[in-house]
Protein backbone atom coordinates (compact mmCIF):
# COMPACT_ATOMS: atom_id res chain seq x y z
CA UNK A 1 0.00 0.00 0.00
CA UNK A 2 1.39 3.45 -0.86
CA UNK A 3 2.00 5.88 1.97
CA UNK A 4 -0.16 8.99 2.30
CA UNK A 5 3.12 10.89 2.41
CA UNK A 6 4.77 9.45 -0.70
CA UNK A 7 5.00 11.52 -3.85
CA UNK A 8 2.70 11.03 -6.81
CA UNK A 9 2.83 12.02 -10.47
CA UNK A 10 -0.39 13.70 -11.64
CA UNK A 11 -0.18 14.70 -15.27
CA UNK A 12 2.72 17.12 -15.49
CA UNK A 13 2.73 17.76 -11.74
CA UNK A 14 4.72 15.95 -9.06
CA UNK A 15 2.73 15.99 -5.84
CA UNK A 16 4.90 15.76 -2.70
CA UNK A 17 2.23 13.75 -0.90
CA UNK A 18 -1.13 12.11 -1.62
CA UNK A 19 -3.36 14.50 0.31
CA UNK A 20 -5.85 16.67 -1.57
CA UNK A 21 -7.60 19.67 -0.12
CA UNK A 22 -11.19 19.02 -1.13
CA UNK A 23 -13.36 21.78 -2.61
CA UNK A 24 -15.43 23.56 0.06
CA UNK A 25 -17.80 26.48 -0.39
CA UNK A 26 -16.58 29.42 1.72
CA UNK A 27 -18.58 32.32 0.14
CA UNK A 28 -15.92 34.95 0.80
CA UNK A 29 -15.69 36.45 -2.70
CA UNK A 30 -16.03 40.19 -3.23
CA UNK A 31 -18.81 41.82 -5.22
CA UNK A 32 -18.76 40.76 -8.83
CA UNK A 33 -17.45 37.30 -7.95
CA UNK A 34 -13.89 38.52 -7.43
CA UNK A 35 -11.22 36.63 -5.50
CA UNK A 36 -9.76 38.58 -2.56
CA UNK A 37 -6.48 38.91 -0.66
CA UNK A 38 -7.99 36.86 2.18
CA UNK A 39 -8.73 34.07 -0.29
CA UNK A 40 -5.09 34.18 -1.38
CA UNK A 41 -4.01 33.87 2.26
CA UNK A 42 -6.46 31.04 2.93
CA UNK A 43 -5.24 28.85 0.08
CA UNK A 44 -1.57 29.73 0.55
CA UNK A 45 -1.80 28.68 4.22
CA UNK A 46 -2.72 25.18 2.99
CA UNK A 47 -0.13 24.85 0.24
CA UNK A 48 1.53 21.80 1.83
CA UNK A 49 -1.37 19.74 0.46
CA UNK A 50 -0.34 17.56 -2.42
CA UNK A 51 -3.07 19.30 -4.42
CA UNK A 52 -5.56 22.05 -3.57
CA UNK A 53 -8.97 22.08 -5.26
CA UNK A 54 -10.74 25.39 -4.78
CA UNK A 55 -14.29 26.08 -3.78
CA UNK A 56 -16.80 25.90 -6.63
CA UNK A 57 -16.30 28.68 -9.18
CA UNK A 58 -19.20 29.58 -11.46
CA UNK A 59 -18.54 29.49 -15.22
CA UNK A 60 -21.34 31.98 -15.97
CA UNK A 61 -23.77 34.21 -14.11
CA UNK A 62 -26.67 31.81 -14.70
CA UNK A 63 -24.40 29.08 -13.33
CA UNK A 64 -23.95 30.81 -9.96
CA UNK A 65 -25.54 28.90 -7.11
CA UNK A 66 -24.94 30.92 -3.93
CA UNK A 67 -24.30 34.58 -3.12
CA UNK A 68 -20.68 35.36 -2.33
CA UNK A 69 -19.14 32.73 -4.60
CA UNK A 70 -16.33 33.52 -7.04
CA UNK A 71 -16.52 33.33 -10.81
CA UNK A 72 -14.36 32.74 -13.88
CA UNK A 73 -16.38 34.36 -16.63
CA UNK A 74 -15.14 37.97 -16.72
CA UNK A 75 -11.72 39.53 -17.22
CA UNK A 76 -11.90 41.10 -13.76
CA UNK A 77 -12.54 37.73 -12.15
CA UNK A 78 -9.69 36.14 -14.06
CA UNK A 79 -7.32 38.91 -12.97
CA UNK A 80 -8.43 38.60 -9.34
CA UNK A 81 -7.50 34.90 -9.18
CA UNK A 82 -3.84 35.60 -10.06
CA UNK A 83 -3.16 36.73 -6.49
CA UNK A 84 -4.46 33.34 -5.28
CA UNK A 85 -2.50 31.14 -7.67
CA UNK A 86 0.61 33.29 -7.20
CA UNK A 87 0.44 32.96 -3.41
CA UNK A 88 -0.08 29.18 -3.55
CA UNK A 89 2.79 28.70 -5.99
CA UNK A 90 5.05 30.98 -3.95
CA UNK A 91 4.43 28.65 -0.99
CA UNK A 92 5.30 25.60 -3.11
CA UNK A 93 1.74 24.40 -3.74
CA UNK A 94 -0.36 23.21 -6.66
CA UNK A 95 -3.94 24.32 -7.24
CA UNK A 96 -6.89 23.34 -9.45
CA UNK A 97 -10.04 25.45 -9.81
CA UNK A 98 -13.30 23.60 -9.36
CA UNK A 99 -15.74 24.69 -12.08
CA UNK A 100 -19.26 24.51 -10.67
CA UNK A 101 -22.48 25.24 -12.56
CA UNK A 102 -25.32 25.24 -10.04
CA UNK A 103 -28.07 24.51 -12.56
CA UNK A 104 -31.40 24.39 -10.72
CA UNK A 105 -29.71 25.03 -7.34
CA UNK A 106 -29.89 28.79 -7.65
CA UNK A 107 -32.35 31.67 -7.37
CA UNK A 108 -33.28 34.77 -9.43
CA UNK A 109 -32.55 36.95 -6.41
CA UNK A 110 -28.93 35.78 -6.58
CA UNK A 111 -28.31 35.97 -10.33
CA UNK A 112 -31.14 37.93 -11.91
CA UNK A 113 -31.99 34.87 -14.01
CA UNK A 114 -34.39 31.98 -13.69
CA UNK A 115 -32.21 28.94 -12.94
CA UNK A 116 -31.81 26.39 -15.73
CA UNK A 117 -31.74 22.61 -15.54
CA UNK A 118 -32.32 19.51 -17.60
CA UNK A 119 -36.04 19.59 -16.69
CA UNK A 120 -38.53 21.86 -14.95
CA UNK A 121 -38.11 20.01 -11.63
CA UNK A 122 -37.04 22.05 -8.59
CA UNK A 123 -34.35 21.00 -6.15
CA UNK A 124 -35.47 19.84 -2.74
CA UNK A 125 -35.16 22.26 0.13
CA UNK A 126 -34.13 25.89 0.37
CA UNK A 127 -31.34 27.70 -1.46
CA UNK A 128 -29.27 30.61 -0.19
CA UNK A 129 -30.18 34.07 -1.50
CA UNK A 130 -29.04 37.60 -0.59
CA UNK A 131 -32.12 37.95 1.64
CA UNK A 132 -31.82 34.54 3.28
CA UNK A 133 -32.92 30.97 2.54
CA UNK A 134 -35.79 30.55 0.08
CA UNK A 135 -37.44 27.50 -1.44
CA UNK A 136 -35.67 26.34 -4.58
CA UNK A 137 -37.55 27.70 -7.61
CA UNK A 138 -38.68 25.71 -10.62
CA UNK A 139 -35.87 25.90 -13.19
CA UNK A 140 -36.33 26.52 -16.88
CA UNK A 141 -35.73 23.32 -18.83
CA UNK A 142 -32.92 23.87 -21.32
CA UNK A 143 -33.83 23.50 -24.98
CA UNK A 144 -31.84 20.82 -26.80
CA UNK A 145 -29.89 23.40 -28.77
CA UNK A 146 -28.93 25.22 -25.55
CA UNK A 147 -27.36 22.24 -23.80
CA UNK A 148 -24.03 22.22 -25.70
CA UNK A 149 -23.51 25.89 -24.77
CA UNK A 150 -23.81 25.03 -21.08
CA UNK A 151 -21.36 22.15 -21.56
CA UNK A 152 -18.89 24.51 -23.25
CA UNK A 153 -19.16 26.97 -20.36
CA UNK A 154 -16.95 24.63 -18.31
CA UNK A 155 -14.30 24.78 -21.02
CA UNK A 156 -14.53 28.57 -21.29
CA UNK A 157 -14.01 28.90 -17.54
CA UNK A 158 -11.13 26.40 -17.70
CA UNK A 159 -9.34 28.57 -20.25
CA UNK A 160 -9.67 31.52 -17.92
CA UNK A 161 -8.45 29.40 -15.01
CA UNK A 162 -5.27 28.43 -16.80
CA UNK A 163 -4.78 32.06 -17.85
CA UNK A 164 -5.11 33.00 -14.18
CA UNK A 165 -2.33 30.59 -13.24
CA UNK A 166 -4.22 27.52 -12.09
CA UNK A 167 -2.50 24.18 -12.67
CA UNK A 168 -5.76 22.64 -13.87
CA UNK A 169 -9.49 22.38 -13.23
CA UNK A 170 -11.96 19.98 -11.69
CA UNK A 171 -15.48 19.81 -13.12
CA UNK A 172 -18.06 19.64 -10.34
CA UNK A 173 -20.16 16.68 -11.41
CA UNK A 174 -21.24 15.84 -7.86
CA UNK A 175 -23.63 16.88 -5.09
CA UNK A 176 -26.72 17.71 -7.11
CA UNK A 177 -25.40 20.51 -9.33
CA UNK A 178 -25.87 20.75 -13.11
CA UNK A 179 -23.80 17.77 -14.29
CA UNK A 180 -25.28 15.69 -11.48
CA UNK A 181 -28.77 16.84 -12.49
CA UNK A 182 -28.26 15.54 -16.02
CA UNK A 183 -27.02 12.22 -14.63
CA UNK A 184 -30.06 11.92 -12.37
CA UNK A 185 -33.06 9.69 -12.87
CA UNK A 186 -35.48 12.16 -11.22
CA UNK A 187 -34.08 15.64 -12.01
CA UNK A 188 -33.65 14.72 -15.68
CA UNK A 189 -36.96 13.84 -17.32
CA UNK A 190 -35.88 14.74 -20.84
CA UNK A 191 -36.93 12.78 -23.91
CA UNK A 192 -34.19 14.01 -26.25
CA UNK A 193 -30.61 12.80 -26.63
CA UNK A 194 -29.73 14.10 -23.15
CA UNK A 195 -32.36 12.13 -21.24
CA UNK A 196 -33.93 8.75 -20.67
CA UNK A 197 -31.33 6.03 -21.13
CA UNK A 198 -28.05 5.83 -19.24
CA UNK A 199 -26.24 6.53 -22.52
CA UNK A 200 -28.18 9.75 -22.94
CA UNK A 201 -27.98 10.91 -19.31
CA UNK A 202 -24.18 10.67 -19.23
CA UNK A 203 -23.86 12.63 -22.49
CA UNK A 204 -23.76 16.10 -20.90
CA UNK A 205 -20.99 15.12 -18.47
CA UNK A 206 -18.92 13.57 -21.26
CA UNK A 207 -19.41 16.58 -23.53
CA UNK A 208 -18.41 19.01 -20.77
CA UNK A 209 -15.30 16.96 -19.94
CA UNK A 210 -14.34 16.54 -23.60
CA UNK A 211 -14.69 20.26 -24.30
CA UNK A 212 -12.60 21.12 -21.26
CA UNK A 213 -9.89 18.59 -22.11
CA UNK A 214 -9.71 20.01 -25.62
CA UNK A 215 -9.52 23.56 -24.25
CA UNK A 216 -6.78 23.14 -21.62
CA UNK A 217 -5.49 19.59 -22.02
CA UNK A 218 -6.68 16.31 -20.55
CA UNK A 219 -3.79 16.30 -18.06
CA UNK A 220 -5.23 19.49 -16.57
CA UNK A 221 -8.81 18.23 -16.36
CA UNK A 222 -10.41 16.24 -13.54
CA UNK A 223 -14.02 15.58 -12.56
CA UNK A 224 -15.73 15.04 -9.22
CA UNK A 225 -18.69 12.65 -8.89
CA UNK A 226 -20.90 11.54 -6.00
CA UNK A 227 -22.45 8.20 -7.04
CA UNK A 228 -25.89 7.81 -5.48
CA UNK A 229 -25.28 10.87 -3.32
CA UNK A 230 -28.82 12.21 -3.18
CA UNK A 231 -27.88 15.82 -2.35
CA UNK A 232 -30.47 18.50 -3.27
CA UNK A 233 -32.95 15.72 -3.98
CA UNK A 234 -31.03 14.21 -6.88
CA UNK A 235 -31.59 10.49 -7.27
CA UNK A 236 -29.57 7.92 -9.24
CA UNK A 237 -31.73 4.80 -9.22
CA UNK A 238 -29.04 2.98 -11.19
CA UNK A 239 -25.90 4.42 -9.59
CA UNK A 240 -23.63 1.44 -10.32
CA UNK A 241 -24.67 1.08 -13.97
CA UNK A 242 -24.76 4.82 -14.58
CA UNK A 243 -21.35 5.63 -13.13
CA UNK A 244 -19.70 2.57 -14.66
CA UNK A 245 -20.94 3.71 -18.07
CA UNK A 246 -19.80 7.27 -17.38
CA UNK A 247 -16.29 6.28 -16.28
CA UNK A 248 -15.98 3.97 -19.29
CA UNK A 249 -16.63 6.95 -21.59
CA UNK A 250 -14.47 9.35 -19.59
CA UNK A 251 -11.58 6.88 -19.75
CA UNK A 252 -11.39 7.53 -23.49
CA UNK A 253 -10.48 11.15 -22.71
CA UNK A 254 -7.45 10.28 -20.53
CA UNK A 255 -8.39 12.85 -17.89
CA UNK A 256 -6.04 13.76 -15.05
CA UNK A 257 -8.29 12.13 -12.47
CA UNK A 258 -11.72 11.14 -11.26
CA UNK A 259 -12.65 12.30 -7.75
CA UNK A 260 -15.29 10.17 -6.02
CA UNK A 261 -17.08 10.89 -2.77
CA UNK A 262 -17.86 7.93 -0.53
CA UNK A 263 -21.55 8.48 -1.19
CA UNK A 264 -22.64 4.93 -1.97
CA UNK A 265 -21.87 1.37 -0.96
CA UNK A 266 -18.20 0.51 -0.82
CA UNK A 267 -18.62 -2.37 -3.26
CA UNK A 268 -19.96 0.07 -5.88
CA UNK A 269 -16.95 2.32 -5.38
CA UNK A 270 -14.62 -0.66 -5.73
CA UNK A 271 -16.35 -1.56 -9.00
CA UNK A 272 -15.76 2.00 -10.20
CA UNK A 273 -12.09 1.75 -9.17
CA UNK A 274 -11.79 -1.29 -11.45
CA UNK A 275 -13.56 0.57 -14.26
CA UNK A 276 -11.45 3.72 -14.07
CA UNK A 277 -7.88 3.12 -15.31
CA UNK A 278 -6.41 6.46 -14.25
CA UNK A 279 -5.77 8.43 -11.08
CA UNK A 280 -8.54 8.09 -8.50
CA UNK A 281 -9.14 10.57 -5.69
CA UNK A 282 -11.48 9.45 -2.92
CA UNK A 283 -13.18 11.73 -0.39
CA UNK A 284 -13.81 9.35 2.51
CA UNK A 285 -16.70 11.42 3.90
CA UNK A 286 -19.79 12.93 2.31
CA UNK A 287 -20.04 16.64 1.60
CA UNK A 288 -21.84 18.31 4.47
CA UNK A 289 -21.50 15.26 6.69
CA UNK A 290 -20.52 15.52 10.34
CA UNK A 291 -17.40 13.37 10.16
CA UNK A 292 -13.90 14.75 9.78
CA UNK A 293 -11.76 12.24 7.91
CA UNK A 294 -8.46 11.21 9.46
CA UNK A 295 -5.40 9.05 8.87
CA UNK A 296 -7.29 5.76 9.31
CA UNK A 297 -9.81 6.73 6.62
CA UNK A 298 -6.99 7.64 4.25
CA UNK A 299 -5.11 4.38 4.81
CA UNK A 300 -8.31 2.41 4.34
CA UNK A 301 -8.93 3.86 0.87
CA UNK A 302 -5.29 3.76 -0.19
CA UNK A 303 -5.39 0.06 0.67
CA UNK A 304 -8.49 -0.33 -1.54
CA UNK A 305 -6.81 1.23 -4.54
CA UNK A 306 -7.29 4.99 -4.28
CA UNK A 307 -4.29 7.03 -5.40
CA UNK A 308 -5.03 10.28 -3.57
CA UNK A 309 -7.21 11.14 -0.55
CA UNK A 310 -9.25 14.32 -0.26
CA UNK A 311 -9.82 16.00 3.10
CA UNK A 312 -12.43 18.73 3.57
CA UNK A 313 -13.03 19.86 7.15
CA UNK A 314 -9.57 18.63 8.10
CA UNK A 315 -7.88 21.17 5.83
CA UNK A 316 -10.43 23.85 6.66
CA UNK A 317 -9.55 23.80 10.36
CA UNK A 318 -5.92 22.64 10.12
CA UNK A 319 -3.79 24.54 7.61
CA UNK A 320 -0.93 22.23 8.61
CA UNK A 321 -3.01 19.07 8.16
CA UNK A 322 -0.27 17.15 6.36
CA UNK A 323 2.16 17.57 9.24
CA UNK A 324 -0.50 16.77 11.82
CA UNK A 325 -1.36 13.53 10.02
CA UNK A 326 2.31 12.66 9.55
CA UNK A 327 3.15 13.21 13.23
CA UNK A 328 -0.08 11.87 14.73
CA UNK A 329 -0.99 15.26 16.20
CA UNK A 330 -4.57 16.03 17.22
CA UNK A 331 -6.80 17.75 14.66
CA UNK A 332 -8.53 21.01 15.49
CA UNK A 333 -12.31 20.95 15.03
CA UNK A 334 -13.97 23.13 12.42
CA UNK A 335 -16.05 26.06 13.68
CA UNK A 336 -19.30 25.37 11.86
CA UNK A 337 -20.94 28.68 12.71
CA UNK A 338 -18.26 30.47 10.65
CA UNK A 339 -18.55 28.33 7.53
CA UNK A 340 -20.66 30.77 5.49
CA UNK A 341 -20.79 33.96 7.56
CA UNK A 342 -18.09 35.81 5.60
CA UNK A 343 -15.11 37.66 7.03
CA UNK A 344 -11.75 36.32 8.14
CA UNK A 345 -12.85 34.64 11.40
CA UNK A 346 -12.99 30.89 10.94
CA UNK A 347 -11.30 31.38 7.56
CA UNK A 348 -7.69 32.51 7.88
CA UNK A 349 -7.61 32.48 11.70
CA UNK A 350 -6.89 28.76 12.16
CA UNK A 351 -3.28 28.24 13.25
CA UNK A 352 -0.68 25.54 12.92
CA UNK A 353 -0.30 23.12 15.83
CA UNK A 354 1.32 24.75 18.86
CA UNK A 355 3.75 22.46 20.68
CA UNK A 356 3.84 22.92 24.45
CA UNK A 357 6.70 22.09 26.78
The pLDDT tens digits along the chain (357 residues) read 789 999 999 999 999 999 999 999 999 999 999 999 999 999 999 999 999 999 999 999 999 999 999 999 999 999 999 999 999 999 999 999 999 999 999 999 999 999 999 999 999 999 999 999 999 999 999 999 999 999 999 999 999 999 999 999 999 999 999 999 999 999 999 999 999 999 999 999 999 999 999 999 999 999 999 999 889 999 998 999 999 999 999 999 999 999 999 989 999 999 999 999 999 999 997 655 556 788 899 999 999 999 999 999 999 999 999 999 999 999 999 999 999 989 999 999 999 988 765
> Smallest Cα–Cα separation from 177: which of 246, 118, 120?
118
Distance CA 297, CA 274 (A): 20
Residue 200's pLDDT is what? 98
Residue 207's pLDDT is what? 98
Residue 286's pLDDT is what? 62
Length of the chain, in residues? 357
User: Backbone dihedral region of 228: left (phi > 0), alpha (psi from -120 to 50 degrees) or beta?
Assistant: left
The domains of the chain are located at 8-338
Residue 177's pLDDT is what? 98
Long-range CB contacts for residues 147-152, cutoff 8 Å, separation at least 24: 147/194, 147/204, 148/207, 150/63, 150/101, 150/116, 150/178, 150/204, 151/204, 151/207, 151/208, 151/211, 152/208, 152/211
State the burial class of residue 133 (Cβ atoms within 10 Å of its Cβ: 0-12, 13-18, 19+). Answer: exposed
Distance CA 119, CA 126 (A): 18
* Buried/exposed code over 246-284 (b: 16+ C-beta within 10 A; e: otherwise): bbeebeebebbbbbbbbbbeeebbebbbebbebbbbbbb
CATH node for 8-338: 3.20.20.70
What's the CA angle centered on 256, arms 254 and 258, to 5 degrees? 95
Residue 68's pLDDT is what? 97
Residue 230's pLDDT is what? 86
User: Considering the entire predicted model, what is its pTM?
Assistant: 0.96
β-pairing verdict for 51-57 and 19-21:
parallel
Residue 116's pLDDT is what? 98
Between helix 203-216 and helix 239-251 the angle, nearest 10°, is: 30
Element (H, E) at 168: strand 168-172
Residue 146 burial (CB count, 10 A): 12
Q: Which residues pair with 283 in a beta bridge?
A: 261
Residue 354's pLDDT is what? 84
Distance CA 290, CA 26 (A): 17
Name every residue whose Cβ is closer than 8 Å to that of residue 320 and which is 6 or more positions away in sequence: 48, 352, 353
Amino acid sequence: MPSLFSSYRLGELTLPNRTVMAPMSRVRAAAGGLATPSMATYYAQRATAGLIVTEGVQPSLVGQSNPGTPGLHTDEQTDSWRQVTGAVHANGGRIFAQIMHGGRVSHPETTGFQPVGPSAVPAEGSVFTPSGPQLAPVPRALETHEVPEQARSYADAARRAVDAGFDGVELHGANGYLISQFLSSNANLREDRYGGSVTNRIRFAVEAAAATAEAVGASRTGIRLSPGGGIWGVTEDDAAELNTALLTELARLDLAYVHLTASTDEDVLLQLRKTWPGTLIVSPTMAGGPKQAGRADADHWLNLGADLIAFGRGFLANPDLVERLRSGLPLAPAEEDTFYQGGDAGYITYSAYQHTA
